[in-house]
Structure 1
Amino acid sequence: MSTTPPAGPLCTRDSLASELRDLGLRPGETLLVHSSLSSLGWVCGGPGAVVMALLDVLGDHGTLVVPTHSGDNSDPAGWCDPPVPEAWWAEIRVSMPPYDPRTTPTHGVGAIPETVRNWPGAARSAHPQTSFAAVGPRASAIVDSHALDCRLGERSPLARLEEVGARILLLGAGYASCTAFHLAEYRIPAPQVDISFAIMTPQGRCWSTVRDTSITDDRFDDLGAAFEKERPVVRGTVGAAEARLFSLADAVAYAQVWLAEHRPRPSSVPSPS
């Protein structure tokens, strides 16, 4: 049994809510949150306390949105972290459980999104790899109609968030996590790639392949640093975490110009893994 004291500071629902208000979160707004629970310190109540603090600040008329991605539902031929033997690929494609917005767990996005996914009244979008979950009065309008051939583009929740004037909170997360930058990728010339996943259809489970825009988070950290120098970004501390708060629409517009100028487009990108 470890006798090492936990790393602080001690964070509670009330202390987190107070610091989020000090950062500038407003009641009634729509907020997309990218987060790292471990960056906050020792949170009394774990990820549930963080979600409650966010909902406390947003109030009854605000809407909380998080990425609930499940990129492991993808073609094993593109897996690299870690890869699997080629001899397994066919069986994985046959056996991969189909995406179910009610039960499919998140993958690689942290404990806070997984908690929101299971929150009473949460709504979740239909994409097998890049879903979003939302809690609040705008939840259904934001997550409905997420097209299978549009991971993070015009027919995804990101575009709906842009339409309602949402802001982004990076809570202990860096700009590499900023999914809104991907919406900009759909608005500049880009190649198309095959994306595969297991889904349910009226005829039952199937392995489906669609064509979609090639996306990558390459150089998102550089993009974020440039954005922060030129556009309004509120910076502060929540618990031990560095926090950033900014307009989603502003980030997308800036990224559309910056990416076209600074980053050559790849010919293809593997499916998420």
Structure 2
Amino acid sequence: MKQPWYQQPITTVTTYTDLMTLFQELGLQEQDTCLVHTSLSAFGFIPGGEQTLIAALKAGLAKGNIAMPAQSSDLSDPHEWINPPVQTAHQDQVMAALPGFDRQLTPCHLIGALPEYFRSLPGTQRSGHPTCSMTAWGVQAQHICETTTYDLPFGAQGPLQKLYDLNAKVLFLGTDFETGTAIHLAESTLPRPVFEERAPIQTAGQKQWVSFKMVELEPYDDFNEMGAQFMAAKPESVRQAAIGNDRTALAFSMRDLVDFAREYYRQRDLAEGLN
């Protein structure tokens, strides 16, 4: 029987010094803005775990900004849930019991340990969308997280556009394009059909349900196919380095990725008659 992960011997260690060397190999500068996606397990064992990795990121980007997704998609209408579905008899019960979104209190779910740790730290800002928020730390963190509408949270009025305008880099630390939240900016700025979703928010001690507009997003398993074509077309944009357990870290221009993805999906949408 395979041992649980916490009982398995430590064979690969990544220290704070190793992380700082990695960031240099990826070409990061202290004034850069980075949208970060991380698989902690890809590093093997990091003494200090999330605390050490965030400390290294803050040191490496001391005059710039760090951003991470802080999605809470479980704060949504349970009548629409698919993974998992809610039995009809319990849908109203779940809907009534869900807490309203709160920037300080609502945790991130289903996107890993590091985004939740980052969200909880003093000095981290968070945007106000109930299901698709973004967190940021750094010189322009408040600007990145300022939003004026719930509509199209990944679109031109949201934090992703601000990161694009800041010429941010996307940083994959052991992850791949399936985690690429930046790609949603490309999708959300195409002329796709718009539909409405609902989510609860907490305002002045009261919960209320708000509606907002969304566009149809691609399944995540398509992102790697698009990402492979992006890397082949824009090799000069991508820096790579080996990490931990035979995994790879990538750093590249968010603008290059979004521009490539927008044209890639525009052509696909034309072929499928979506625009």
Same-fold status (TM-score > 0.5) = yes
CA distance in 2 between counterparts of 1:146 and 1:110 reads 28
CA contact (8 A) 1:20 1:238 kept: no
CA distance in 1 between counterparts of 2:158 and 2:23 reads 27
> How do 1:30-109 and structure 2 match up within 5 A?
30-59=33-62, 61-109=63-111
Which of 258, 265, 275 is matched with 1:259 structurally?
Answer: 265
> How do 1:95-244 and structure 2 match up within 5 A?
95-145=97-147, 147-202=149-204, 204-218=206-220, 219-231=222-234, 232-240=237-245, 241-244=247-250
CA distance in 2 between counterparts of 1:247 and 1:259 reads 18
- Secondary structure of 1:42's counterpart equals coil
For 1:72-107, what per-residue CA distance to the aligned partner results, in whole angstroms no more than 9, with x for missing partners?
Answer: 111112322222211111122222100001010001
Q: Letter of the aligned partner of 1:148 in structure 2?
A: Y
CA contact (8 A) 1:94 1:207 kept: no
CA distance in 1 between counterparts of 2:262 and 2:244 reads 33
- Secondary structure of 1:34's counterpart equals strand
CA contact (8 A) 1:47 1:115 kept: yes
How well do the aligned residues superpose, as a CA RMSD in angstroms?
2.0
1:109 to partner: Cα distance: 1.1
- Secondary structure of 2:104's counterpart equals coil
> Which shifted more, 220-229 or 146-155?
146-155
Tell me whether 1:245 sits opposite 2:251 in the alignment. Answer: yes
- Identity across the alignment (%): 32
> Which shifted more, 172-181 or 73-82?
73-82
CA distance in 1 between counterparts of 2:202 and 2:218 reads 27
Which of 9, 13, 20 is matched with 2:12 structurally?
Answer: 9
> Which shifted more, 128-137 or 9-18?
9-18
CA contact (8 A) 2:31 2:65 kept: yes
> Which shifted more, 11-20 or 162-171?
11-20
Q: Letter of the aligned partner of 1:49 in structure 2?
A: T
- Secondary structure of 1:43's counterpart equals coil
- TM-score (structure 1 length as normaliser): 0.91
May I ask how many residue pairs the two structures share in their alignment?
A: 266
CA contact (8 A) 1:9 1:41 kept: yes
CA distance in 2 between counterparts of 1:159 and 1:7 reads 41
For 1:42-70, what per-residue CA distance to the aligned partner results, in whole angstroms no more than 9, with x for missing partners?
Answer: 111011111111111112x1211110111
CA distance in 2 between counterparts of 1:25 and 1:146 reads 31
